[in-house]
Amino acid sequence: MQHDTTTAQAPRPAQRSTRDLTRAAVSGWLGTAMEFMDFQLYSLAAAIVFNKIFFPDVSPAIGLIAAMATYGVGYVARLVGAVYFGRMGDRIGRKKVLYLTILLMGASTTLIGALPTYAQIGLLAPILLVALRLVQGFGAGAEIAGATVMLAEYAPVKRRGLVASLVSLGTNSGTLAASGLWALLLAVLSEEQLLSWGWRIPFLLSFVLMIFAAWMRRGLKESPVFEERPDVVDGVAMTRSEVESTVAAGETRHAGVLEAGIRQRKGKAFFLALGLRFGQAGNSGLVQTFLVGYIATNLALDRAVPTDAILYGSLLGFLTVPLVGFLGDRFGRRVIYMVLTLLTMAISFPVMFLVTSGSTPALMLGMVLALNIGVLGLFSLESVTMAELFGSRTRFTQLALAKEIGGVLATAIGPVLAATLTAVTGSWWPIAAMLVVYSAITLVSAWLAPETRGRDLVRLEDAV
């Protein structure tokens, strides 16, 4: 392969206008909103209707398990998608991958709304449902990582945390939109209407969002950081062997930069990022998933009470997320990470005391505090810090894997472990203890991590 050595020696700074940044920000927000809306639509449908329309010939309990299993396979596909699209994004650019992921997610979600039911085509119906769920997860596995990378690489250095926090706002927007759609359907439709045609509406409506998001991304310019990478020639990154031959032949003035990028031993930055992700994801699984069921089952309260608390906490998150992003830009990532994790550890037992006090206002206050400090606040920091930890040569791949592996481990194991411990002890204290442990993992990771605020994201090597 012949390389343009002039381009390799002196990459021209990629200029981006305010309009370009705005388009990138809206695109990132839309993509993550769509990802979380799609997954929330599916999770609610799995709990409410899929056991009846796709698995009707089994007992209700088995049908629910089967419906939840189809939900779970999406997380397996996410890991595969993280590897596949992450490597593609590091090789041919962020923009192309983000365009593909939005189409995969949108098309599969829309097609779920058009599926025939078990009563119409028999066993083929749940098989098609699982297939579309796999496609949906495959695309989603790199969506949030890709949007995070794109926004971090687009953003002005001094406002990188604030701009990248829009990814976190997208998760809030998508979850709220899906929950609102299902709440509306449940309020206005009878059960017969819901099971016959009403359940299709949210899935089919996602087609409109997909078209708009795809249009936004089609006109989006490539990440300036990717274009400035010294190992990118004509929009394609050189392979390791090509970089080594270029350095050996002395064909570039960036020999030292390229060699540092390929010689650095990988691993330390990845495990630090995994630790940063683990706390946020673990807290999320406990607060947003386990506590809802615990309050309804163990405390015998209406399920609407914790659900409303999550809704109010999510609305407050539209202030919390950008505020934390701003503070990270102002004071640095590490110090804000440590403050938030220490606060979460300090309030864990008081929060659970409020939740179990028997007072609805106290319960809501506790859940809102835990959600905004221990989940959304950390998520805001995570969006930019993980991107800054990795070098531009493998940033997309490593970030996608850290997010997906950390998320699956923490959110999958956490609620199950919490359910076991609370059943054995007959008390709420294991939940508080787990919040402390999850937050401590992130605290230690933040302590060991370097300060990444202001780091040059064009550098090929990791921050550590």
pLDDT, position 237: 73
pLDDT, position 290: 80
Q: Quick one: pLDDT at residue 11?
A: 45
Average pLDDT over residues 258-265: 62
pLDDT value at 181 more than 70: yes
Residue-wise pLDDT tens digits, 311-363: 888 899 999 999 999 999 999 999 999 999 999 999 999 999 999 998 999 99
Q: Which CATH number fits domain 17-226: 1.10.150.570, 3.40.50.300, 1.10.1200.10, 1.20.1250.20?
A: 1.20.1250.20
How far is Cα 454 from Cα 416, in angstroms, rounded to an integer?
39
Contact assessment for residue 447 and residue 253, using Cβ atoms and an 8 Å cutoff: no
* 14 vs 88 pLDDT, higher one: 88
* Residue labelled with tokens 């930019």: 384
- Identify which has the larger pLDDT, 341 or 126: 341
CB 42 within 8 A of CB 136: yes
Residue 371 vs residue 37, higher pLDDT: 371
Provide the pLDDT for residue 303.
63
Distance of CA 430 to the CA centre of its chain: 26
Q: Which residues contact 189 (CB under 8 A, 6 or more apart)?
A: 198
Can you tell me the mean pLDDT for 26-51?
A: 78
Q: Which CATH number fits domain 264-448: 1.20.1290.10, 1.20.1250.20, 3.40.140.10, 3.90.120.10?
A: 1.20.1250.20
pLDDT 10s digits, 433-454: 999 999 999 999 999 999 999 9
Stretch 55-76: mean pLDDT? 62
Residue 265 has pLDDT above 80, yes or no: no
Q: Which residues of 405-437 are buried (b: 16+ CB within 10 A; e: fewer)?
A: bbbbbbbeebbebbbebbeeeeebebbbbbbbe
pLDDT at 335: 97
Question: Which residues lie below 8 Å from residue 212, measured CB to CB, with a gap of 6+?
Answer: 30
Please name which of 137, 394, 87, 436 lies closest in space to residue 286, comparing C-alpha atoms.
436
**pLDDT of 6:** 35
Q: Note the pLDDT of residue 7.
A: 36
Q: Report d(CA 44, CA 41) in Å as an integer.
A: 5
- Phi/psi class of residue 32: alpha, beta or left (left: φ > 0; alpha: ψ in -120 to 50)? alpha
Token readout for 107 is: 């098309």
Would you place residue 25 in the very low, low, confident or very high pLDDT band (cuts 50, 70, 90)? confident
Mean pLDDT of the chain: 83
- State residue 13's pLDDT score: 47
Asked whether the predicted pLDDT for residue 251 surpasses 80, the reply is: no
- 341, HSE (Cβ side, Cα atoms, 13 Å): 30
Confidence of residue 32 (pLDDT cuts 50, 70, 90): confident
- Residue of higher predicted confidence among 69 and 448: 448
Q: Which of 54-68, 413-427, 444-458 has the lowest mean pLDDT?
A: 54-68
Instruction: Identify whether the C-beta of residue 246 lies closer than 8 Å to the C-beta of residue 448.
Output: no
What is the distance in angstroms between the CA of the first residue and the CA of the last residue of the chain?
Answer: 32
User: 406 is written with which tokens?
Assistant: 């950390």
- Domains in the chain: boundaries: 17-226, 229-262, 264-448
Query: Which pLDDT value is given to residue 258?
Result: 64
Question: Which ranges constitute the DSSP H helices of 93-123?
Answer: 94-112, 118-121
**Which range (9-23, 228-242, 285-299, 327-341) has the least confidence?**
9-23
pLDDT digits (tens, 9 = 90+) for 72-123: 667 778 889 999 999 999 999 998 999 999 999 889 999 999 999 888 888 8
Is residue 2 very low, low, confident or very high in pLDDT (cuts 50, 70, 90)?
very low
Stretch 148-175: mean pLDDT: 88
Instruction: For 155-185, give one letter per residue: b (16+ CB within 10 A) or e.
Output: beeeebbbbbbbbbbbbbbbbbbbbebbeeb
Q: Who has greater pLDDT, 10 or 165?
A: 165
pLDDT at 247 over 60: no
Which of 64-73, 221-230, 265-274 is predicted with the least confidence, judged by mean pLDDT? 64-73
Give CA–CA dist 420/404, Å, rounded. Answer: 24
310 or 44, which is more confident?
A: 310
Which of 76, 24, 51 is closest to 129 using CA atoms? 51
- Residue 432 near residue 352, CB atoms below 8 Å: yes
Is the pLDDT at 262 greater than 70? The verdict is no
